[in-house]
Structure 1
Amino acid sequence: MKMIFSYATVSIVLSSVVGIGFAAELAKNPICILISKTVSNATGVFFPGSPEYIAGISHYANLSSTQISKCVVEPGNAQDVSRVLKFVGTARIPFAVKGGGHATNPKFSSTTGVHIAMSRFSEITYNNSSKTVKVGAGLVWDDVYAALEPHDVKVAGGRVTGIGVAGFTLGGGYSWLGNQHGLAIDAVLEFELVTPNGTVLTVSQSSNPDLFFGLKGGQNNFGIVTSFTLQTFPGAQVWGGSRIFDGSQTQLLAAATIAFTTNVTDPKAAIITDYMTRFGQPLASVLVFYDGKTPPPGIFDSFLAIPAVISDVKTRSFLSLIQSSGDLPHNQRAIYGAISPLKFTQALSDVILNETLFWSAQLSSKSAMTIAYAIEPFLPSVYSQNTTPTAYPPNRSLGFLPFNIYYSWNVSAFDDDFHSAARQSSARIRDAAITEGQADVARAPLYPNYAIFDTPLEDIYGENLPKLRALKAKVDPFNVMGLAGGFKL
């Protein structure tokens, strides 16, 4: 039977081996000093006040997603990840694993314990013969697109700038290529995984189908992924960009969005429409995409005809397209909310727009803020591209759509108000979809990368939940990964 020791027991043993000088050093920061003695020179351990520490704990939603940890550990190889994971698991020390740092749920990729920053896992190795690429878990998608551009290929990754490779992929991953190639997890061929007991594995459908299933949408429940091997797709030149409108154009944008979702079946075409308010002022925007240098006539004409405050739509590199999206405010407090409608109708569009304006008015006195409701249409083919079982989605026969509510603010005293608003607004839109006849919305899974932190696991993994929990118990019987944040099985 495996023994579980406290870090105090470990420190006493190591102190007796290394000596009195080490014991004095240990008293300053016992946990992190011990870790620094267990890893190789490839790994850095950083303490509060250092630039590396600040960068390591920082997040996109910095005010709400960041915590002050005891130290930041930047592993330099999978073997050191193994050493750190075995140490925190044995000593029962809370820890976090941060890839790109774009998670908005508080405490999901941060900790007051040991913060593991994956930034040194920055490999990008393209294999021209197999048309695959191996990418490190510490990268953001901008890095990957830039490295692949000279090879005239791209991958199914994040649709806007600054999204981390690891969290996006382990949660499922809706990309601009989804209508053609499925979710990001459908294009993953291999994972390099450090399991909770410290074993380093290459996980594929042939080598370990159960773990392969669990990692495809099961997030960080089965260990720490250090790299992904991905299928690439041809064509680094695409067409698209962003158009931003003042609030007076919202109804025209809504009509164009509904017409697109109803009539456009070209799998190379995609959009994201946002209704939003910033500092109380209504705005709207659309990101348009076509996987080719020029779209066929008519697909995007209605969007291009709406008078825009800013327009940046053209033939460009895939990287340029992603970076043209801009990003919502950094260094704020933020939360997402998720719904999974089956279609967007005029009635549902009106409800979404009303929610945007209602909650902007309700919350405007509480904090400087941004509110955005993102409509993300996909064809039902987004789920039929893959027949290999995946943790998410649990049901590939239902053509549900991801939908994101985004709130940002800057005063911690109002956290509960904004969290409650996101929950209430999600429920109202969901109920409106059911009322208008979308009964299957009640069983449509919620996208884990958008779901608010207290979402029941049944609402994400549905019928897959018992299988995932059995796999978790087998791979992680001592619940090491339960010491880290996230949706825990």
Structure 2
Amino acid sequence: MLQWNLVTANQMRNAAQQEPANAATTCSQIQGAISSASAVYYPVSFQWQADIAHWASNAIQSSTCSVEPGTVEDVAVIVKGGGHSPNTGFSSTAGVQIAMSRFSEVTYDAAASTADIGAGLIWDDVYDVLTPLGVNVVGGRVTGVGVGGFTLGGGYSWKTNQYGLTIDNMISYELVLPNGTIVTPSATVYPDLFWALKGAGQVNFGIVTKFTMKAYPQGQVYGGYITYAPGEMNAVADAVVQWISENNDPKASVLPTFGAALGLPIAIALIFYDAPTAPAGTFDAFMNVPYLYADLATQSYGDLVRAAPSNTTNYSRLAFNTAPVYNLSPAVLAQVINQTIYYADTDTLLLGEILHGSWYFSIDVEPFLASAFTGNNQGGSYPHSEALMPICFTFSWELGLDDSFWMNAVQQSADIIMQTAIAEGQPLTGVDVVKYNNYAPANTPLQQLYGSNLPRLQALKAQYDPNNVMGLTGGFKV
């Protein structure tokens, strides 16, 4: 669910000159200004609880009220955005929270081969509508991921090897500007905003209420997940290296994960082929490693997305981090395993359970084809024209007292792997060696998110939001 912090449009326009309005008063003013298609909810009603809920417990804040706009016109009366990020304050607030759940339409235009997708949906819902129509879009890979934050931050997909990132497949956005104006940025209308929204759009230029994306024919797919025995982590790493050297089929994709849960090291490989069956030998590198369990089948795209192990960290405290690399080399993968073993070591975890309450972490490596970034990139504020692989770190723990310890731990782990890649000669210190902002922690410098695009983004921010209305919200600010 895409969720936004709220204040009224007039209050936001005057934010630079006035003290913030009392949140309770703002709630009342919103309730009086919106149409019957929208609603305001207060603690501790069921709907308020649903609106402030977040899959990472450290990202939950108790808002003074929540608002569910039902029309884009009501959004224009209200204005603001965030849900994908576990960073505190990025998709939550102690003030006024807006949940975009009523923007839940999916409409397919067969003549244009496009799909209109509401900002309040999760990708599971999108696939459920599009599957019977025999089409699909470039969306999320695992269950429960929200459309809004995922898309505005970039969007790595099972179909990225074929079509690029989600932002490379955008036709237009329906956007409410900070002054309440409703616009539809595209390659020809507001092209500057269209460019900016492709990677830096979450909370800088207004609220996106609808996405129009390219749609592609979609039949059944093949894939699922393979779970390996704890002693096979090195063999799985070797399989990743082999896969990278041998695979050039854009219909094939893998997402290997190295991690630990309650002291037990684990390796899992999610595999995907965009057809009912994969050519013989496509996934032999992973199938030839001894495994405990494999759940591979021909199925719908949506069923495959739901089949992967999910919700492992639901409602625990959680932090993401990332280390972009050009090459998932043996040395980089060996360091991934070193980090996994370090945190999975029985003695370390037993001590950790007593002192810090950690119980799960994972490091996902993402070996995309270079052509996904050079052949499909339409441009955008997230610079991904080079084949940087966005390694994702997910650390989970139980108590707020341990936040600092585990946030430092995930940062150190990412830094160690990044330094390993640099030490072997990977050129990872240039201005456009950027981190994927959907994985990045809240303290990431903006230069590391947008590279040489940052000055242009800041100029556009000043043009479209001169009073820094969107500065009242959470998230990365340009």
TM-score range, shorter chain: over 0.9
Larger radius of gyration: 1
- Out of 46, 71, 76, the position equivalent to 1:77 is 71
Give, in whole Å, the separation in 2 of the partners of 1:118 and 1:208. Answer: 24
- Out of 390, 393, 412, the position equivalent to 1:405 is 393
Change (3 A) 1:191 1:173: same
Is 1:37 the equivalent of 2:32? Answer: yes
Percent identity for Structure 1 against Structure 2: 41
In the alignment, which residue of structure 2 is the partner of 1:241?
224
Secondary structure of 2:120's match? coil
Deviation at 1:243, TM superposition (A): 1.0
Give, in whole Å, the separation in 1 of the partners of 2:429 and 2:365. Answer: 15
Give, in whole Å, the separation in 2 of the partners of 1:448 and 1:424. Answer: 18
Is 1:67 the equivalent of 2:61? Answer: yes
CA contact (8 A) 2:234 2:337 kept: no
What is the identity, as a one-letter code, of the residue corresponding to 1:433? A
Gap runs ≥5 in structure 2: 1-12
Give, in whole Å, the separation in 2 of the partners of 1:283 and 1:296. Answer: 28
Question: Which runs of structure 2 are paired with 1:89-488 in the superposition (5 Å)?
Answer: 97-98=81-82, 101-218=83-200, 219-327=202-310, 328-361=312-345, 362=348, 364-365=352-353, 366-386=356-376, 388-393=378-383, 396=385, 398-440=386-428, 443=431, 444-488=433-477
Change (3 A) 1:388 1:283: closer
Secondary structure of 2:192's match? helix
CA contact (8 A) 1:376 1:402 kept: yes
What is the identity, as a one-letter code, of the residue corresponding to 1:416? S
Give, in whole Å, the separation in 1 of the partners of 2:470 and 2:14. Answer: 17
CA contact (8 A) 2:393 2:410 kept: yes
Map Cα deviations across residues 101-159 of structure 1 (whole Å, 9 max, x no partner). 33211111000111011000001001111111100000000000110001111110000
In the alignment, which residue of structure 1 is the partner of 2:46?
51
Give, in whole Å, the separation in 2 of the partners of 1:313 and 1:479. Answer: 50
Give, in whole Å, the separation in 1 of the partners of 2:25 and 2:191. Answer: 40
In the alignment, which residue of structure 2 is the partner of 1:22?
none
Change (3 A) 1:375 1:441: farther
Change (3 A) 1:456 1:155: same
Deviation at 1:250, TM superposition (A): 1.2
Secondary structure of 1:97's match? coil
Give, in whole Å, the separation in 1 of the partners of 2:186 and 2:261. Answer: 44
Secondary structure of 1:438's match? coil
Q: Which stretch of structure 1 is more off in the superposition, 273-282 or 322-331?
A: 322-331
In the alignment, which residue of structure 1 is the partner of 2:4?
none
Change (3 A) 1:261 1:337: same
Give, in whole Å, the separation in 2 of the partners of 1:470 and 1:56. Answer: 33
Give, in whole Å, the separation in 1 of the partners of 2:359 and 2:109. Answer: 45
Deviation at 1:384, TM superposition (A): 2.1
What is the identity, as a one-letter code, of the residue corresponding to 1:276? G
Secondary structure of 2:463's match? helix
What is the identity, as a one-letter code, of the residue corresponding to 2:58? S
Q: TM-score, normalised by structure 1?
A: 0.90
What is the identity, as a one-letter code, of the residue corresponding to 2:181? T
Deviation at 1:368, TM superposition (A): 3.9
Deviation at 1:162, TM superposition (A): 0.5
Give, in whole Å, the separation in 2 of the partners of 1:84 and 1:169. Answer: 22
Q: How many residues align?
A: 456
Change (3 A) 1:451 1:8: closer
Give, in whole Å, the separation in 1 of the partners of 2:175 and 2:375. Answer: 25
Deviation at 1:8, TM superposition (A): 8.3
Deviation at 1:235, TM superposition (A): 1.7
What is the identity, as a one-letter code, of the residue corresponding to 1:322? V
Deviation at 1:6, TM superposition (A): 4.8
Give, in whole Å, the separation in 2 of the partners of 1:212 and 1:194. Answer: 13
Gap runs ≥5 in structure 1: 12-27, 86-95
What is the identity, as a one-letter code, of the residue corresponding to 1:419? M
Give, in whole Å, the separation in 1 of the partners of 2:344 and 2:205. Answer: 39
Give, in whole Å, the separation in 1 of the partners of 2:393 and 2:24. Answer: 41
CA contact (8 A) 1:180 1:385 kept: no
Deviation at 1:7, TM superposition (A): 7.7
Map Cα deviations across residues 211-259 of structure 1 (whole Å, 9 max, x no partner). 0000000132100000000111112311111111221121221111110
Give, in whole Å, the separation in 2 of the partners of 1:306 and 1:8. Answer: 59
What is the identity, as a one-letter code, of the residue corresponding to 1:457? L
Secondary structure of 1:487's match? coil
Give, in whole Å, the separation in 1 of the partners of 2:89 and 2:219. Answer: 36
Q: TM-score, normalised by structure 2?
A: 0.92
Deviation at 1:439, TM superposition (A): 2.1
Deviation at 1:329, TM superposition (A): 1.9
Give, in whole Å, the separation in 2 of the partners of 1:441 and 1:378. Answer: 21
